Amino acid sequence: MELDTCAPSTTSTGAHTPSLPPLAPLHPFTVTALPGKGLALLATSFIPTGTHLFSESPLLLLTSSSSHALPQSTRVLAGFSLLPPAPRAALLALCSNLPLIPVPTDESTALAVWKANNFCLDSEGTVNGVFALAARLNHACVGGENCRWVWVADGEGEGKGEDGGEGEGEAERGQIQFWTDRDIAVGEELTHCYRPDWRMGTVNRRAALSEEYGFDCGCTTCEEPEVDD
């Protein structure tokens, strides 16, 4: 299953702003609310290893280099201000872990959404994006996850994965792809590891995830700490 996509437009801030694509009618998962987790993706049928789950263009994409003097928060807000109504609403609807403030604004919510949901899409940390559907996959630490992603940028022949490896299959350009890493049973949650580079033991990793993303990890890897301590 793939999402229908359209080519993103590029702004002077480096933000890509595609229109929001509808979900294809046939797919092996559904988006549903889980207690204590918010919205999540659950398998609605058996999904075998190596299944291409979906491809998706970013709601907001930022690139950076040594020539960028502006802080990322300023560029995020500049890109956000240029979003059309549909992707703007989709971005604001994502989990934000927003600090308790009397009257949150769209801008403060957008920054909180960016912090909690942006994907680092290259090994140099210069390309980051937020995605409407990919953001709904919750985290599981290395060993507990069942999905992985690949990013294929505009003009690239092959995708780059979250582990820095090459992608696979006939990839669309300028999209994130999600693939299954193992068989997934009906009713099982689809997960991926937010930070596969964090090999620091359960206690330290849980603390880092809480500080960075605002949740206490209860994945199988964290619940069986002898595996990675």
pLDDT band at 162 (very low <50, low <70, confident <90, very high): low
Q: Nearest-CA neighbor of 139 among 198, 92, 225?
A: 198
pLDDT band at 224 (very low <50, low <70, confident <90, very high): confident
* Residues 73-110 pLDDT 10s: 999 999 999 999 999 999 999 988 766 667 789 999 99
% of residues, the chain, pLDDT over 70: 75
What does the domain layout of the chain look like in residue ranges? 29-199
* Residues 126-138 pLDDT 10s: 899 999 999 999 9
| CATH superfamily of the 29-199 domain | SET domain (2.170.270.10)
pLDDT band at 157 (very low <50, low <70, confident <90, very high): very low
pLDDT (0 to 100) of residue 68: 64
Q: Which are the contacts of 54, defined by CB distance < 8 A and separation ≥ 6?
A: 1, 2, 3, 24, 27, 133, 177, 178
